[in-house]
Structure 1
């Protein structure tokens, strides 16, 4: 195969870029992050007419001015990586708005082919586009396609290869921005052209336009490399801005945007677009939105859809979860039979197999959840959910787009904070994004459900449904209030206006849904599986070592000898009972003497204010690693050995009889577990997404402190009411 050419896919959000990328690359794609940035990078390969093509899916963006991370990433890739061709995806049904980005590609002088996508949707709306005339006016190839069905895609690739082989370097287009700005650009020319390091990378006039737009990256680069010229250029830009403010009451970037749209309109008015107007016509999407986004009916539909999503997830994933549990049970039994008793066997079963099993048992649940979310996302419904929730979220200092990370994290119950944290990538405001990723872990993820089920089923069996409902409401209230507190203190700043496109409803393609489902599931398996494995082994070691001193081991050995001599062989039941009690006492003392036991006892000096004893502290320490292990750790800590989180009956009975437990303590522990530090996998994910470990550590400290204050409050108020 020949050397692969690099093709960049660019375009507005919802223009069909991802659909085309999936159609071109299928399973031959790789998902990662751009170096040092948490914006997702998708790359794939295909072979067309014997020529290899490397396809890079750039973040969706409306502009090339660096107002957001996505815009900065897209622009830097075009400048630094210099793709052989940029395929600009343009929504044919929204031509004028989509061509705004195209004009900036023309100004930048990148080799470009316009893929006029969704021509079928445009035709249904009575819109007809003369692609040949548009090509002549813009001076770049224009190919009509339907990315969903693949219509016109082969012709698009033929045009791309022809453009590359022609080898003509495009000349940057000089748009006119009115006399004031054009004259300023002419005056700035000498200073800009003297900055040879920058003009070797960027077109000179384009640099001038970016300086007038106050593009932060370009301003900083100019100041760092040519400080004297930067000062003169800055003064020129300030004078132009003042003049435009005095005369027109606008800033230069507004004038520049207006003239770009004027350029687009002048092209469109040359018979490129013809419309068949139908009186009082409403598109299908508009008709649906009149009901789906209704102030009263909309939230009810949203609740029903989300309830249906989780019903689908848990009803149909159960069989696969049981199969995985059975598989890991067989593996555990096989290792138990093969290896002799000892530390290695204990580590392999309790540390490795149970550790991996606790993570992978959730994979079917997540796959079904991601499958349902992909359908909602690809159909266009999730955009409506964000639209409806914006008013509530805006009051608490968040963005309408924050709703999906909360839902994915377990807003209804049963999600996972890891993909929830990763879902914050869609938020453009850094402070709103931080506030969201720091609070999504308050949701009732699937790992917390066994604990909620155990404690509510044990102490509030007559009102299980009510307490589960209240627990769900509490997570939302606490998360939103915590976000409000963060936005008023360390993340203070103005809220970002919620401006988003409501894409038309579409039937998702099965292939696209499967690709999205697999991408998200594989990310979870990679990021969660390896970390949990290490943490499980560490937790096992903390509860096992340093073990009992030799004299204590000798003491329990002596007790066993005494029991064997006291009970004759005929009374095997009594002997077995005595030996089991000795083993339980030895295990309990060994646990007290372990690293985890000593830590739990030390923490009891603080936790007793919330009515939490040392054994529960050990389980809570395990929860720092993974919430999945809280129930099994409680079983061990209460001298019951290994307890399956799904089969916690014996632990339930033990807690109900334990004098240290009562409904108030159960409610206190429940509150603490719901809101204290995220699991270690989520903490790692927060560090990666926030770009700093300080936010990950802050999340652990802030959540735990808040949870402890709430737990102490609940314990003392509850105790007063309970005793009275």
Structure 2
């Protein structure tokens, strides 16, 4: 037989197909939960690194999907953006709500942080009102145990009427039981059992206590009943009239627009959102009182740590020290591992040269393969250990719960710049990659805030710039290479904040919205989550090396070995002609060398291309050993390229126009070519002005 279940948002029909009483094998499960509830860790525990990442149709919000087979059922898993409620203010919240309401979802898995049960239950109660199958994954039970608390896993399901499965995403416990519960519960749209008193409310005349987990006061329930009847008359195909009635009482903009009712003014005489919220929290307090034992017991470690890490005076110096530690590991440990990659590349280059010579290849082909492809792409790959360590440390900080503190401690500074501390989160993400950082700006509610954040986020030094710092600091600051590179990250933050200050002085804006951000418990990072994060970033780095950088190295070799007279000397090539034309623009900032100018222009495709181009520009010179770097530094020094010029090279690479992928993301987020072009011009102008000041002042001092 076929059972029809109407769509909650559009009234369309969704068919759960049965054959001889057995459900169809495919099942779509949506993971939803508060930020930092362990949802992504749980999702990764099922899917591993086998993820499909894309954007939601028509919306630039990241969509993460995976699939598993359990009990003979193919289960499609969708990881929704973290949200505190289904009241959609930001784009992520709107996407989560729309997908949950759609007929694509068979079962909702509500991932709840058991150590913060009171806060997480608000979203749970909203999900229960959707009239869709809900299974709770009670995560982080180990933290509850460490606090000396207990949760009554018999009483809690009685009060909510849904299966509640204790799981540990970190230790991979309860995973199979959770999926089995989702499969078994796929057609349970009504509570299994409801056993609670609601002592603070009178018994409603329709006995809603036996129907719904969350029951409101008689005043609200009477209004809900009247609105439900009106909705049934006007929208007979609508699914879950109670949820829509509640949203109409809250004066939800989308529901009010899509489902107006004839008697709205008489029934919905004001917004009842505050009343609904307060009564939900009354019920949550009732739940907590009944199911949580030893609630007052807390782990003191987080509080002790936050006394230092979020201290008004110590927090920023500690943040700078932590980032200094990150770059100490990135450089000193990374450089140690990098030496093995350099030896491997030397062997590959030598073998390729001798092999092609034995095959009788001409000099041009040998030059293309060895000096163009191997030197260009291989030079980038030698920096892989440094990149891995950088991402490893950033993933560790993020998964431990520290990164949310960074936004908190920066809130006062950002407020003075007319923004919320939340705007600093995309900027911090920019240390990894500018593309997801720009996308993260959509979490800001105000359009002006989003645009300002997108404008300055590329000033934060992404990992693609790290090879540039390693190369030039290694050549010209061998004893202080880590400090030279670390200063780029500090300068990037300072320039971004000063840019925001300048814009705020012009616009004279004040920040009206207070920062509301969760400070999660510190926890031991999941090795699996960190490993997946690092692998995805490394895979992306290798992909760029095998595509963009590979192509750029070949193109650079051609324009440097061919000119108006054909194949010949590099000084007579098309590349040299182009670079020499740009020299007057770059000379005032200490970069008046045609090779440097050309490498910077090539770096617009991807910042790593600056290094690969630099290698090709110097005849495929081996830069993969200390002696070779010193030799190259001497060669550059003989033409007047000093440590000051090298520092200006790093500085300009930090601040000038971001990579093509970032520009494409800016356009995708802003939907404006005008704004995208303005962003590029603004960043080039800032880069030129800052580098000009540093070079001119430095030239007079040194």
TM-score by length of 1: 0.77
1:78-477 to structure 2, matched below 5 A, reads 78-164=100-186, 173=212, 188=227, 192-193=231-232, 196=235, 200=237, 202-219=239-256, 221-222=258-259, 229=260, 240-241=269-270, 251-269=271-289, 271-275=290-294, 277=296, 283-336=300-353, 337-338=355-356, 340-341=361-362, 345-403=366-424, 405-407=426-428, 409-410=430-431, 417=434, 421=438, 431-445=448-462, 448=465, 471-477=488-494
| Residues 221-269 of structure 1 deviation map (CA, whole Å, 9 limit, x = unaligned) | 45xxxxxx47x688669x723xxxxxxxxx5322221122223334455
> How many residues of Structure 1 are paired with residues of Structure 2 in the alignment?
655
CA shift in 2, pair 1:193/1:307, >3 Å: same
TM-superposed CA distance for 1:26, in Å, is 3.4
TM-superposed CA distance for 1:114, in Å, is 2.0
| Residues 346-377 of structure 1 deviation map (CA, whole Å, 9 limit, x = unaligned) | 54445544443344333332222222222222
Q: Which residue of structure 2 lines up, in the alignment, with residue 569 of structure 1?
A: none
Q: Is the 8 A contact 1:431 1:493 kept in 2?
A: no
Q: Which residue of structure 2 lines up, in the alignment, with residue 225 of structure 1?
A: none
CA shift in 2, pair 1:628/1:61, >3 Å: closer
CA shift in 2, pair 1:534/1:59, >3 Å: same
Q: Is the 8 A contact 1:631 1:643 kept in 2?
A: no
- Paired with 2:471 and 2:47, the residues of 1 have a C-alpha distance of 46
Structure having the higher helix fraction is: 1
Moved more, 295-304 or 701-710: 295-304
Q: Which residue of structure 1 lines up, in the alignment, with residue 659 of structure 2?
A: 679
Secondary structure of the 1:116 match is strand
Q: Which residue of structure 2 lines up, in the alignment, with residue 62 of structure 1?
A: 84
Q: Which residue of structure 2 lines up, in the alignment, with residue 655 of structure 1?
A: 636
Q: Is the 8 A contact 2:140 2:169 kept in 1?
A: yes
Q: Is the 8 A contact 2:162 2:191 kept in 1?
A: no
Structure 1 unaligned spans of 5+: 223-228, 242-250, 554-582
| Equivalent residue for 2:619, pick from 635, 641, 664 | 641
| Residues 585-606 of structure 1 deviation map (CA, whole Å, 9 limit, x = unaligned) | x431x13xx1x33333433454
Q: Which residue of structure 1 lines up, in the alignment, with residue 34 of structure 2?
A: 12
- Paired with 1:600 and 1:83, the residues of 2 have a C-alpha distance of 56
TM-superposed CA distance for 1:51, in Å, is 3.2
Q: Is the 8 A contact 1:25 1:44 kept in 2?
A: yes
| 1:521 matched to 2:570 | no
- Paired with 1:416 and 1:142, the residues of 2 have a C-alpha distance of 38
Q: Which residue of structure 2 lines up, in the alignment, with residue 700 of structure 1?
A: 680
TM-superposed CA distance for 1:701, in Å, is 1.7
- Paired with 1:467 and 1:312, the residues of 2 have a C-alpha distance of 14
| 1:548 matched to 2:564 | yes
- Paired with 1:48 and 1:466, the residues of 2 have a C-alpha distance of 52
Secondary structure of the 1:164 match is coil
CA shift in 2, pair 1:486/1:205, >3 Å: farther
- Paired with 1:111 and 1:465, the residues of 2 have a C-alpha distance of 54
Q: Is the 8 A contact 2:426 2:440 kept in 1?
A: yes
| Residues 289-336 of structure 1 deviation map (CA, whole Å, 9 limit, x = unaligned) | 223323344444433333333322333333543444444444444544
Q: Is the 8 A contact 2:118 2:284 kept in 1?
A: yes
- Paired with 2:337 and 2:178, the residues of 1 have a C-alpha distance of 42
| Residues 200-222 of structure 1 deviation map (CA, whole Å, 9 limit, x = unaligned) | 45533323433443434435545
Q: Is the 8 A contact 1:90 1:98 kept in 2?
A: yes
CA shift in 2, pair 1:155/1:371, >3 Å: same
| Residues 533-568 of structure 1 deviation map (CA, whole Å, 9 limit, x = unaligned) | 3333333343344x1337xx8xxxxxxxxxxxxxxx
- Paired with 1:691 and 1:137, the residues of 2 have a C-alpha distance of 47
Secondary structure of the 2:69 match is strand
| Equivalent residue for 2:592, pick from 613, 633, 646 | 613
Q: Is the 8 A contact 1:632 1:645 kept in 2?
A: no
Structure 2 unaligned spans of 5+: 1-22, 193-207
Secondary structure of the 2:523 match is coil
Secondary structure of the 1:115 match is strand
| Residues 654-705 of structure 1 deviation map (CA, whole Å, 9 limit, x = unaligned) | 433336x567766655543332112334434545566666555443221112
Q: Is the 8 A contact 1:359 1:528 kept in 2?
A: yes
- Paired with 2:635 and 2:670, the residues of 1 have a C-alpha distance of 42
Q: Is the 8 A contact 1:108 1:173 kept in 2?
A: no
CA shift in 2, pair 1:689/1:531, >3 Å: farther
TM-superposed CA distance for 1:180, in Å, is 6.6
Q: Which has the larger radius of gyration?
A: 1
TM-superposed CA distance for 1:101, in Å, is 1.0
Q: Is the 8 A contact 2:419 2:511 kept in 1?
A: no
